[in-house]
Amino acid sequence: MSLLTQYSLWFLPLCLLVGAGCALLLYYKSTTLDLDQKSRIIMSCLRGLAVSLICFLLLAPMLKMMMKELDKPLIIFAVDNSESIVLSKDSAYYRTDYPQQLKQLVNSFGNKYDVKVYSVGEKNQLQENDNTDFMDFSEKSTDLSAIFNDVSTLYGNRNIGSMILLSDGIVNSGSNPYYKASSVEYPVYTVGLGSTETTTDLFFAGVNHNKQALKGNYFPVEIKVAANQLANNNITLTLTEGDEVLMSKNMTINSRKFFETVSANLQATTKGLHKYKLTLTELDGELTYVNNTAYFYVEVIDSREKIAIVYNGPHPDVAAIKSALESAENYEVTVLSIQDFRASVDDYSLIVLHQLPSAGQPAANLLAQIEKTGTSCLFIVGSQTNLSAFNNLNAGISIQQNKNLFNSAVPLYNENFTAFTFSEEARQLLPKLPPMTTIFGDYKSMVASNVFLYQKINNVNTQYPLILFNERNGVKTGVICGTGIWQWKLYNYLYTQGHREFDEIINKIATYLSVKADKSLFRVSAKNVYEEYKPVVITAELYNESYELVNDADVSIVITAEDGKKYEQQLSKQNNQYVLNMGELPVGDYSWLCSTKYGKNSYSKSGRFSVDEVLIESTNLVADHSLLQSIATATNAKFFLPREMQQIEQEIKANDNIKPIANYSKKYSLLLSSWVYFACIVLLLAVEWFLRKWNGGI
């Protein structure tokens, strides 16, 4: 702490001198007061000090202080809250004693540490330190890698002391946590929950099947049956739909660790959603019977929409778009070189043209057919596209290239885009995607065109479209003004360990372009299958006669469960739409009837959906402590069993690397801004005045 003024410090004695001078003049020079020696000294001191202080404050002095801020070490508890923990032998312990022991450990750190408790499972969630109520072991899947990402995003600039990871090590989603953990700089103490002993159990280890099948066709189902420590038992696997037994297979468990894949070929007979049930014999001594039953759903459809991708030359964009379209199983995708295109355009609900028309391939025949039949198209414009031929197609944009040059453009979402909605995850991913190669030149888009993404070039937001849509005479056309979208797929995986967002964007584009306009005035969208523990959301739209969205009228829905239980609700109005969030519904089949009255007209729509059981946590019940041990070793920490977990406190307190970090910062404060000095001056003068009065002065 030190004192600064903008004047020389030699002014300080001068201040004292002025104070002393005033005091002397008043109390020793003038003789109007009759005072004893003692009062005179006291009062002159008071006056002297007050005047000195005022003079001193006139110098506008500042205090320089070094502020020490302690960044307490963060201790992050990552508490696995997944189902697999209580499906183990010691479930009673995990429901009663374990939460109390954890609470004791959390509290033992006291206020020298900054303790945060996260529950881990499908998602990570910050919990209150004192409350163990969240530990209901209800998470339907386990991703242990995400917590490392979250911690580095949220606390990257903090003093992370340590993470304490309490889990059974059974991971069934996300990436391998070991690789995440080995790159962090803080120790990760691990507590191994669950049981590593192989449990006596017969269970479904998984069911592979298509989500959709074509009516009349056969579709394959692969059923994985596993059993531990149940050798020499005879079991029966049954596959039923409703009351009808479709397959029954007897097997003998021939080893202590039994695994068998059973294939079945089912016929898709009637259109609609089909629910199939799988059951295994319940044997004595099994840990749980929960995983002896499994359900799966297959939607049987009349026909699948066809999409053709026609290219000028092979390009990685083609493979990436094809894989995205095929992921949803909604489309039958054909990939063809323009030289090989012979089919009729009528067969396809969407045609993707990659860098066509080009200089070598005018594609005149195909383009004429498209024009004639009014088929939806998606153009991908690149260096091979013949721009003047493309501009003549009135696809919604015309592009004039400048000097055969190209730009590198990243996507920029158009906030005013309304043609379709997409998930928050996809929206978050957009700005992180790598650039596409676009044409450098003039872009003129038609007034009616609807821009989905703009080009952001060298960090400059431009008005050049990257992806846009156009509707002319009821025919929808899309244009991707660049090549290299294939890289989005790779980066999607880098950021999220999956391709869900890329697939979603491509499929939304394809659906928007291929769906013939729905002319009905009341439209309801509900999924066929909702996952257990995910909210059931149904949306509706109501149009007036001039096809403008309205929501003046009330829309109600009745959802009926299998057992006849009815849920009656009003849809709430959001923006121009109607939304119903039913929350979680129990597993089962439901039918719904949605109706409204607008003006003189009544409308209603009906449908069915199922809430599907999520089995993933019960398929593997053997804890993986070796994973937790290697995480601890890789981060220079230790592994503990639940009953030893209180020792972690000692370990952390003894670890010299986990200490508060002191951050120093300079702080200047003007003394004038503090009221203390004024209070001093007032006090000094007030006392002096009082003494003068006391002694009979004025």
Residues of this chain that bind other proteins (CB under 8 A): 179, 309, 311-316, 318-320, 322-323, 335, 337, 355, 358, 360-361, 382-384, 405-408, 434, 437, 440, 457-458, 460, 483-484, 486-487, 489-494, 499
Q: In the complex with other proteins, which residue's Cβ is closer, 119 or 384?
A: 384
Between 164 and 381, name the residue whose CB sits nearer to other proteins: 381
CB 88, min distance to other proteins, A: 26
Residue 394, SS3?
Answer: coil
Q: Closer to other proteins by CB, 405 or 698: give it.
A: 405
* Closer residue to other proteins, CB minimum distance, 502 or 598: 502
Of 144, 153, 92, the C-alpha closest to 119 is: 144
Question: Minimal distance in Å, beta carbon 405 to other proteins?
Answer: 4
- The continuous run of DSSP H or E covering 204 comes out as strand 201-209
CB of 345 to other proteins, least distance (A): 20
Half-sphere exposure of 293 (CA within 13 A, CB side): 7
Three-state DSSP state, 659: coil
| Residue 37 CB neighbour total at 10 angstroms | 7
Q: How far is the CB of 361 from other proteins (least distance, A)?
A: 8
Residue 66: C-alpha distances to residues 1, 60, 676 (Å): 6, 20, 21
Min separation Cβ 114 and other proteins, Å: 32
Q: Which of 56, 66, 50 is nearest to 5 (CA)?
A: 56
Q: How far is CA 387 from CA 355, 393, 394, 467, in A?
A: 10, 10, 12, 16
In angstroms, what is the minimal distance from the CB of 59 to other proteins?
47
Q: How far apart are CA 262 and CA 223, in angstroms?
A: 5
CB of 588 to other proteins, least distance (A): 31
Closest contact distance (angstroms) between CB of 486 and other proteins is 6
Contact 352, 336 (CB under 8 A): no
The minimum distance between CB 62 and other proteins, in angstroms, equals: 42
Looking at the DSSP assignment, which residues form a beta bridge with residue 333?
Answer: 307
What strand order describes the sheet that includes 460-472? 331-337, 305-311, 350-354, 377-380, 475-480, 460-472, 450-457, 397-413, 436-445
Q: Which is nearer to other proteins, 409 or 526 (CB)?
A: 409
CA distances from 667 to 2, 68, 661 (A): 11, 10, 19
Give the integer Cα–Cα distance in Å for 435 and 449: 23
Q: Which helix (H) or strand (E) holds 510?
A: helix 500-514
Least distance CB 259 / other proteins (angstroms):
15
**Encoding tokens for residue 347?**
């067969």
CA 441 to centroid of chain Cα atoms: 37
Looking at the Cβ atoms of 198 and 402, the one nearer to other proteins is 402
Q: Report the residue count for the chain.
A: 698
**Cis peptide leading into 434, omega within 30 of 0?**
no
CB of 227 to other proteins, least distance (A): 22
End-to-end CA separation in angstroms for the chain: 42
| In the complex, minimum distance from the CB of residue 115 to other proteins, in angstroms, rounded to a whole number | 32
Q: Measured from the CB atom, is 255 or 337 closer to other proteins?
A: 337
Query: In the bound complex, what is the minimum distance in angstroms from residue 412's beta carbon to other proteins?
Result: 15
Q: Which is nearer to other proteins, 339 or 576 (CB)?
A: 339
For residues 441 and 642, which CB has a smaller minimum distance to other proteins in the complex? 441
In the bound state with other proteins, the residue whose beta carbon lies nearer, of 127 and 455, is 455
For residue 58, report the phi and psi dihedrals to the nearest 5 degrees.
Answer: -65, -20
Strand partners, 273: 299
- 94 versus 348: smaller Cβ distance to other proteins: 348
Residue 147, SS3 per DSSP = helix
Closer by beta carbon to other proteins, 434 or else 588: 434
Q: Compare residues 163 and 409 and give the one whose CB is closer to other proteins.
A: 409
Q: Which CB sits closer to other proteins, 116 or 456? A: 456
Task: Considering the complex, state which of residue 164 and residue 221 has its C-beta at the smaller distance from other proteins.
Answer: 221
**Residue 124: DSSP 8-state:** -
CB of 408 to other proteins, least distance (A): 6
3-state helix, strand, coil in the chain (%, to 5): 30, 40, 35
**Shortest Cβ 313–other proteins spacing (Å):** 3
Residue 267 · residue 242 · CB < 8 Å: no
Question: What is the C-alpha to C-alpha distance for residues 202 and 287, in angstroms, rounded to an integer?
Answer: 9
Which residues are within 8 A (CB) of 275 and not within 5 positions of it... i.e. 6 or more apart?
Answer: 241, 295, 296, 297, 589, 610
Which residues in 526-564 are b (16+ Cβ under 10 Å) and which e?
Answer: beeebeebbebebbbbbbeeeeeeebeeebbbebbeeee
Give the C-alpha separation, 454 to 437, whole Å. Answer: 13
SS3 readout for 236-269: EEEEEECCEEEEEEEEECCCCEEEEEEEEEEECC
Residue pair 567/559 in contact (Cβ under 8 Å)? The answer is yes
CB of 427 to other proteins, least distance (A): 21
Nearer to other proteins, 382 or 411 (CB): 382
Minimum distance of other proteins from residue 521's CB (angstroms): 42
How many degrees, rounded to 5, is the angle at CA 334 between CA 329 and CA 338?
155
Residue-wise burial string across 98-127, b where 16 or more C-beta atoms lie within 10 A, e elsewhere: bbebbbebbeebeeebbbbbbbbbbebeeb
Closest CB to other proteins among residues 501, 688: 501
